[in-house]
Structure 1
């Protein structure tokens, strides 16, 4: 008989979209194949995390016939068009934050919330809040869907010379796009009432003689149109995105890479499996110790998995935590000294402007419509995107999310022996200051060209990034295919590979494209 907790946690929660694929490959509960799969703890390959890097690894390993397990700390969140599953700034629930007692988010008041395995981790590091996804699908559940590559000059300035831009842009980015299927916001959606703020944002920049253009997004415009028609409960059109869109408005990884991986029959996915440590066994296999969780956060027990090939794709924050702790506690003592270095916040900034003379309506839609890039106009090269800060969605305000190309300011993850925790040790507010000045200069120029617009000075009291990158940098801690130097069979395939800055873009496309390139080389070489 299968142990009940294993039955519950095998693959994904049975109500989820992906669980059916797992069950189809393994047989139903009670079958001999299911029982054997549920009790297995050794796999040829193990992938930690199911975000952009981990999902790419799962699919390509599965297609290559490699026996693979993916472990993910978060839940699978099913698509339920008839009722909301996620919370938002106006509907606080315990689905929102990963084991927090108080909400913490730009524009959101600090309110008590029961700790639970919610979709967003916000880690209060020294002088920087780091936000990252915690769900099956990783950051794709909570991101804004923007899919854009860094411009050539900044890619070539930041990334190792062996990673050629023509190959990146001509082969790997198109491969990712075929899977994610991004597209710009259709004109009828752009012209609808919830996107009045998007049209105003474009007009304001046009008055400042700043050219904007439509940007690709992975939102499912079919579902967004259904929201506009009243056929499904609203989510994207009322500003929900940061904590998920439960009606399927966002085409996340649970609809692209992950089902394709499970459909190979060579991949299992076990949700609510939080990795606590990694190391090596005496026999030389990699060891991965996980804490099994129930959906309410109850700890059900621990399991040790072993594997021959370990792919760490836990996201920048948690990949650094796992690797630095493994090195400093002696479980992987041969890890390079460079692991934990070269972290950056991607120059992330949030900016708000008020325009009380130009009303935008009672709600604002979440998908991003437009972007502009300024290579030389400000202190740092600057990308700005039409954005929504959900806490201000009902106010006469427009939001901009900005990213700068910052080649200088980096931080280090270090192990604190007194607490046995890995922390971002040396980040200062000054490291975000040049990005802030560039963004404020941009906003001042827009305000000067739009009489009646005002800056909103009551903003985040703490620096914040939703795009943490670096710490296990490509070409320094790893080779150009993510093989960790000095540790055969250990790979990194997530945002921690990026050199502390994407290069004037959101990171999702770049992470996935570099992971595609890495897996192609790893599989071709047999490791």
Structure 2
């Protein structure tokens, strides 16, 4: 992007003003240019969702000169360096959850809240809680910033043979890493008081003869340093991440892909536009019906958009909800029968260990410092990461987040005609049990190697995943570029492409890399 004006606009958005960037491109509210842009309902391409897949699609379509609309159900959140913005486990607010009446989160007590368009959807599916972002920037607003690729052998075990790991590792992973500007935790941050728990975690792992390494992260370490210097409102250093870091400590998609997309001049972004249905329009175009929302959640009415190319990137849960319903209700009857199958929870597990004799201070920092991949010792290959479970941030404890390479346990999204909704129909606690056993065996090994450490039983009764994957599995329901079989002009570019498991990694990096690869080919082929 060589245009100095565009660089200026990206700089504006990087300071937390996507709306200001949109005005600079489209005109100020009240102007004729803005009114004409805001009233349009047909676009060459429409992208549902502004998470990792949707943001990649928006940027690459925009740079190709494709007239594109991005619709996002959640709000655009500003950056507020001087005062709190998001809620946390110790400061409950109504804007933490997407239209819930009671909080529900690992380690968090249930507290009544007013339903509102908050940053996190927590869906109580049978035998599994599924969490997903609901904001401009999607999951990047609420994730922990870990940016890691799966080991080659497990990627190749899970993905179609035509999908080259070498191509992703030499071209598309580096592209995403450059766009996200990821880097490991600097030594001075690692040595600071809020990350005493990170140093303890690494030491415990070393005592158990497990080698850790620093992990790339999307946190902005300059902002974290300003937190340590007490010049901005603390967020990352006091354990906030799960519901966003309002001071800009997390370099989410609103500071990387999205401003670059809007700066092309070919992309519009409309927030608080919740997609209710997709289908075919009268002239063969795709129809997308959205419910417009006020910032307090008030329904403002319905709008129908049409497009020639539809990119579905609503996140695994909501992409499956939209497409399975479209097939079963007859709005897209040609969708493949395989769509909705192959769901998995990425083997997500949380583990907590207590060490009463090891003081770590009253609060702990949220960014992950280290990771280790353990391929063969605990039943399933697993990646463990230094983590923070926010509800236990003040306790003398170290937390581990783990993802296991589980190739066997899968679920299906099905349409329930009695309720006219799509649900995860056949998940069971047993499908999470193998991953749980692997992580327990790992934790026991660490406890044995560290006298004074004790296991902690988490106060969370429900299996949980923050990484729902599958349902529109690549190579099964789509081709290798996410083109949905049997539906020309329909594409999927989010976590539902992944075959229920990312192969021993947090999935956001792979979702973005697959989207980069797909869009390069789609643009080159003209569709």
> What band does the TM-score fall into relative to the shorter chain?
over 0.9
Per the TM alignment, residue 282 of structure 1 is displaced from its structure 2 partner at its CA by 1.7
Corresponding position of 1:467: 467
- Shift in Å, 1:19: 0.9
**Maintained 8 Å contact 2:352/2:458:** no
Q: Which residue of 1 aligns with 2:268?
A: 268
Partner of 1:488: 488
- 8 Å Cα contact 1:353-1:454 kept in structure 2: yes
Runs of 4+ in 1 over 6 A off after TM superposition: none
1:521 aligned onto 2:521? yes
In the alignment, the residues of structure 2 paired with residue 302 and residue 355 of structure 1 have an alpha-carbon distance, to the nearest angstrom, of: 54
What is the deviation of 1:174? 0.4
Aligned to 2:51: 51
Aligned residue number for residue 308 of structure 2: 308
Within 5 Å, which residues of 2 pair with 1:46-445? 46-445=46-445
Q: In the TM superposition, what is the alpha-carbon distance from 1:29 to its structure 2 partner? A: 1.8
Q: Which runs of 5+ in 1 are unaligned?
A: 1-12
- 1:37-83 CA distance string (max 9 Å, x none): 11100000000000000000000000000000000000000001011
Cα pair 1:16 1:76 within 8 Å, conserved:
no
Offset from partner CA, 1:472-499 (integer Å, 9 cap, x none): 0000000000000000000000000001
Q: CA deviation at 1:413?
A: 0.1
Number of matched pairs: 514
Counterpart CA distance in 2 for 1:504 and 1:460 is 24
Q: In 2, are the aligned partners of 1:350 and 1:400 still within 8 Å (CA)?
A: yes
Shift of 1:180: 0.3
Residues 303-324 of structure 1, C-alpha deviation per residue, up to 9 Å, x if partnerless?
0000000000000000000000
2: distance between equivalents of 1:339 and 1:459? 35
Write out per-residue CA displacement over residues 386-414 of structure 1, whole angstroms, 9 at most, x where no aligned residue.
Answer: 00000000011110000000101000000
8 Å Cα contact 2:16/2:254 also seen in 1: no
**Separation of aligned partners in 1, 2:396 and 2:319:** 40
Paired with 2:253 and 2:336, the residues of 1 have a C-alpha distance of 31
TM-fit CA distance, 1:359? 1.1
Contact persistence 1:348–1:467 (CA under 8 A): yes
State the TM-score, normalized to the length of structure 2: 0.97
Q: What is the rounded CA distance, in whole Å, between the counterparts of 1:277 and 1:159 in structure 2?
A: 30
Aligned-pair CA distance for 1:31: 1.7
How much is the aligned-residue C-alpha RMSD, in angstroms?
A: 0.9
Q: Which residue of 2 aligns with 1:6?
A: none
Three-state SS of the structure 2 residue aligned to 1:506 is coil
Question: Displacement of 1:16 after TM fit?
Answer: 5.8
Offset of 1:30 from its aligned partner?
Answer: 2.1
Structure 2: segments with no counterpart, 5+ residues? 1-12
Question: Any conservation in 1 of the 2:359–2:396 contact (CA below 8 Å)?
Answer: yes
- Distance in 2 (alpha carbons) for counterparts of 1:31 and 1:137: 27
Shift of 1:459: 3.3
- Is residue 276–residue 290 contact of structure 2 (8 Å, CA) maintained in 1? yes
